[in-house]
């Protein structure tokens, strides 16, 4: 099923500049080796998707340039990470990194994450990340926002009890939207006890280029951690 066949896209363009010869080669030759298999049967046991033995499965929705994805995979070899990114430029950045390192605990879904989420088994994901999603600031576009009660409901289905969901944004209005969506959906508990818990990333949460851009522009960021109830 093509992305957006039954729901609005939550992201903008898929491609930027034309791929270089090297990038085209990575897309053609490496991506098929590290891609999440398209067959639904292969997803029945997500732990078996990886060429390395892993103990649990994590999910990153919209990995951008891949800094966070690669950092987490390197420091948590026991976790198999499914990285989703529909923008071709971001995918080839991760492919270039994987060509130079062991990426046995990474699998790439180069499409809308919601298509993958729908195929994952219940209670199969131990941690999920949504970092700096497109805020769609115009009111008429709010229906395209990735963080919604519908998406949270799908995540609640695939996440284990007590699994952690991390969401970051540099848009104050979107931060409020996220908290309201979480409250209304009802399957996640916000773990913050003090303001510092959501105003600071913490040592296990690396910076990304999008965060750096926001901070240079003087926009404070919100770093939310939610627990699946």
* Of 6, 89, 111, 134, catalytic: 134
Task: Give the tokens for residue 69.
Answer: 């994805």
In terms of Cα–Cα distance, which of 65, 173, 48, 23 is closest to 105? Answer: 48
Compute the distance between CA of residue 144 and CA of residue 130 in angstroms, rounded to an integer: 15
Which residues have a Cβ under 8 Å from the Cβ of 80 and sit 6 or more positions away?
46, 47, 49, 50, 52, 54, 56, 57, 58, 105, 106, 107
Q: What are the start-end ranges of the E strands in 46-87? A: 56-61, 79-84
Up-side HSE of residue 73: CA atoms within 13 Å toward CB?
A: 26
Q: Output the CA torsion 186→192→194→199 (10° steps).
A: -110
Residues paired with residue 131 on neighbouring β-strands, in sequence order: 168
Secondary structure (3-state) at 212: helix
User: Is 134 a known active-site residue?
Assistant: yes
CA 97 to the chain's CA centroid: 18
b/e sequence 135-155, b meaning 16+ C-beta within 10 Å: bbeeeeeeebbbbbeebbebb
Report the catalytic residues: 134
């Amino acid at each position: 099923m093509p992305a957006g066949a039954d729901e609005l896209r939550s992201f903008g363009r898929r491609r930027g500049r034309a791929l270089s010869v090297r990038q085209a080669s990575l897309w053609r030759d490496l991506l098929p080796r590290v891609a999440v298999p398209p067959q639904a049967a292969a997803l029945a046991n997500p732990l078996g998707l990886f060429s390395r033995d892993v103990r649990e499965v994590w999910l990153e929705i919209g990995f951008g340039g891949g800094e966070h994805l690669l950092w987490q995979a390197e420091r948590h070899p026991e976790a198999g990470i499914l990285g989703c990114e529909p923008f071709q430029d971001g995918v080839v950045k991760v492919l270039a990194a994987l060509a130079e390192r062991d990426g046995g605990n990474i699998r790439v879904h180069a499409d809308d994450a919601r298509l993958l989420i729908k195929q994952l088994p219940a209670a199969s994901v131990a941690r999920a990340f949504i970092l700096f999603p497109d805020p769609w600031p115009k009111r008429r576009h709010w229906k395209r926002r990735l963080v919604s009660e519908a998406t949270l409901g799908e995540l609640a289905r695939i996440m284990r009890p007590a699994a952690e969901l991390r969401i970051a944004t540099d848009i104050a209005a979107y931060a409020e939207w996220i908290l309201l969506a979480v409250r209304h959906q009802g399957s996640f508990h916000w773990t913050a006890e003090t303001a510092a818990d959501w105003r600071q990333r913490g040592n296990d949460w690396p910076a990304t280029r999008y965060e750096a851009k926001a901070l240079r522009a003087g926009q404070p960021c919100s770093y939310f951690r939610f627990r699946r109830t």
